[in-house]
Chains A and B, each alone.
Chain A
Amino acid sequence: MTGTQERERELVEALRKSELDGEALARQRTLETVRAAYAEHEPRQRRRRWTAALVTAASLTVAAVIGLTPAGADFRQWVEDTIDPQSTNPRPELTRLPGGGTLLAQSRDGATVVQADGSRRFLGAFSATSWSPHGLNIATADGGTLAAVDPAGTLHWSISAGAKVRFPAWSQDLGYRVAYLSGGTLKVVAGDGTGDHALAAAANVAPAWRGQTDRVLAFVDGEGDIRLIDVDRGRTLGRIAAPDGVRGLAWSGDGVRLLAFSPRDVQVSEGDGEGLSRWRAPAGAEVEDAVFLGDGERIALVQTRRDGDRTASSTVSIFEPGARGGSPQVIFRTPGRLRGLALSPDGSRLVVGWKDADQWLFLEPKPGGDVRAVDNVSAQLAPGRAQAPFAAPSGWCCSR
């Protein structure tokens, strides 16, 4: 062994054997966290049995549709094709929500709650809203005030933020925190309205709570990077490059994958920044909105393709990012602009607002899926008022 090799070996040995100050305590703390995290982790083999059964059933269904029915021959064409806007066959009245749950809708006049049976209640002149985890409360923004109201409109608490409140976001585990932006600052307040404090400078993008914890929040910081922050300790847990002009963030329901989108790009990564993939919208198209579907693997996208200054057409697509993903599959296409995109609590429907037709569209999130439309939405949400503004869906809740 040469002298260099010998001293390298010595160094390796020393580094491996030297325990650092504080290491034992840190190891114990981390081991407890790891045990807790692993206890929440569903083992692969147990899940696979379910997955295999579902995949088998789905495969048989697809095979039946494609291979055994006359309609199967047109299947691929259906996926690619434009759907005639008139084919939505809109219903004149909103008598129930396909997908169930309770929906929030946002117009320039304020926010409205729509119950599963189609009944509506105007909440107030709020500029933004966010459901609490079980739909018992709603965080609302009105000028420089952040408030919590229940779906019946009863005020529970309010605080003055000192500057215009934007993007309230109620944490989705136990509901212990509400994050919001105020004057370029990310702030957090407890779910009972106490302990309001600033966390960091932030860009004008809605922060997103990681699922299954009230502790970890993703937001776009002052430098335009996505930061994951432990709100209790005020510590940055990770930093991920964001697409230029990032417009929105969303976590998959299991808190594993983080979606970030800009008009040009859709980016998905593990929460730690690993496994990052990006998809770029075709020239002339812009991504308006994006949400994870219930499986946390696929994404629903709203894109618009502009013709000069006016919007020429919009699409809703489904795609799976990454190597297996390929291109988005269009499930709905229409003239005009689609606004607001939300997934039903049971994952069976997407809702999107079609302002030009004054309709809400409830889409099954799959190629060739059912489309249900409700017409005359503005007047139904604001009866008695002429020229009521269009209200776009803004949040869909909840499994109670």
Chain B
Amino acid sequence: MPRLLAAGIDELSRRRERGLIRKAQAGSEQAIEELFRLYWPVAFRAASYITRDAAAAEDIAQESFLAAIRNLDRFDRSRPFGPWFKRLVANRAIDWTRARKLRGYELEEDAIDHAPRRSEHVDGGGRELPEDLTAALALLPLDQRTAVVLRYLLEYTPGEIAELLGVPRGTINSRLRRGLDALEGEVVRP
């Protein structure tokens, strides 16, 4: 897509988002549902991939959205909503995995039972999506999986991921590279 066109679409999205926030602040249920439709799926999927626990993912996505509602009045409309909301989700998911570790749960061994699975295999254009991508992603080690989800689903830069996780940027680059390599067979297959 030409860069100018992409920038124009981004600007349209931002305007639309600002409009939705303004309406939601004023009491429009329709606006809050539109924001939910835009942002909840990515929150749920990111939390699912990171935690590999469907109930925890539902809690994380729900509580993040409820926190957004509670803070709606104080939200500065000049700033984009998406990054702020995604940070709520990312922090919660990271905290959840750390809390599990602290309590002695072994996160890697229960991967197969709790791995999220994809239920739809055909995209809008009828092209087959990589069938085992989500399962393959769920089987990545936690550190690689988290880095991949933060980068490619929540759209953080490697520098931002490094800051979120408190590790050097080079470590994140390395985790992303190894994660992508492991997924390559699933992702690039036509």
Contacts and interface: CB of A to CB of B under 8 A. Distances in A.
Contacts of A30: 36, 40, 44, 58, 61-62, 65
Given A37-B66, A239-B99, A19 B54 contact: no
A45 B26 CA distance: 6
Contacts of B29: 35, 38-39
Nearest to A228: B63
A6 B92 contact: no
B83 to A, nearest CB: 14
A11 B88 contact: no
B69 A37 contact: yes
Contact of B153 (A16, A19, A22, A33): A16
Given A237-B59, A274-B88, A38 B69 contact: yes
Interface residues of B, number: 58
B133 interface: yes
Contacts of A134: none
A78 B184 CA distance: 71
A52 interface: no
Contacts of A275: 71
B32 A20 contact: no
A27 interface: yes
B188 A15 contact: no
Contacts of B184: 7
B118 A20 contact: yes
A239 B71 contact: no
B24 to A, nearest CB: 8
A21 B124 CA distance: 18
B82 interface: no
A15 B54 contact: no
A200 to B, nearest CB: 11
Contacts of B33: 31, 34-35
A20 B45 contact: yes
B58 A20 contact: no
B92 A33 contact: no
Nearest to B151: A8
B111 interface: no
B119 to A, nearest CB: 5
A17 B133 CA distance: 12
Given A11-B152, A27-B44, 10 more contacts: A6-B188, A7-B187, A18-B134, A20-B118, A23-B45, A26-B58, A27-B41, A33-B66, A235-B55, A274-B91
